[in-house]
Amino acid sequence: PVENSLGGSIHENYDLMLRYDLTVVAEHECRVSHCLLAVPGVAQKDLQYCLSHPQALAQCDNYLRANNITPVPLYDTAGSAKLLMEQHTDRDLPDKCTPANTAAIASDLAGRTYKLNCLDKGIEDDDSNFTRFLLLGRAGVSQYLNKKIPSKTSIVFTLPNTPGALYKALACFSLRDVDFSKIESRPTSASLLNYLKFKSQLGSNAHKKK
């Protein structure tokens, strides 16, 4: 997942794509519907905390606020449901969370898989909640594309900290009538910047050898 219509871009995954030599080969937009899941016997009025992935919590922020439930971010939606069901003690749950006062936000399928009760469905803040997923591969698919197949190209580059640098970079595309469907600008960590410079140098050296 790289982008959600409510929660915005998932920057961590963008960074991971820069660090690993993978190619985007396809994309898919998925309608996301969240459920409030709890251990059997727990009522909604008993809930004080809710576990889930940060993006899922952001997508249900208004619902959680309206019910005075404190969001607790974890690594995964289905993983949150699994963690909640497997707890017979509060030993491995986050601080102050117990099976009796904590729910998880995940899919209806996760609820059925881990035998949790679904206390509420469709709790996302907007019914136009879509997440864009990218399919990554080690080899590209450009050789299989033709003019009849809709396609996109994604690029990433760094710019010097000088006046007009972004304008000049984008002008190259505008002058050639190249349209953008999305532009993402964000700060670059020192380690990632050094990595990008290293990759650029490798590309330059390879080009010279040819």
Active site residues: 131, 133
What is the DSSP pairing of strand 117-121 with strand 35-38? antiparallel
For 80-137, list the strands marked E by DSSP.
102-106, 117-121, 130-137
| Alpha-carbon gap, residue 140 to 153, rounded angstroms | 11
Cα separation, 193 vs 33, whole angstroms: 37
Alpha carbon distance 73, 118 (integer Å)? 20
- Alpha-carbon distance of 69 to 50, in angstroms, equals 7
DSSP summary character for residue 142: G
Q: Lay out the sheet containing 70-73: strands in order across.
A: 70-73, 49-52, 102-106, 35-38, 117-121
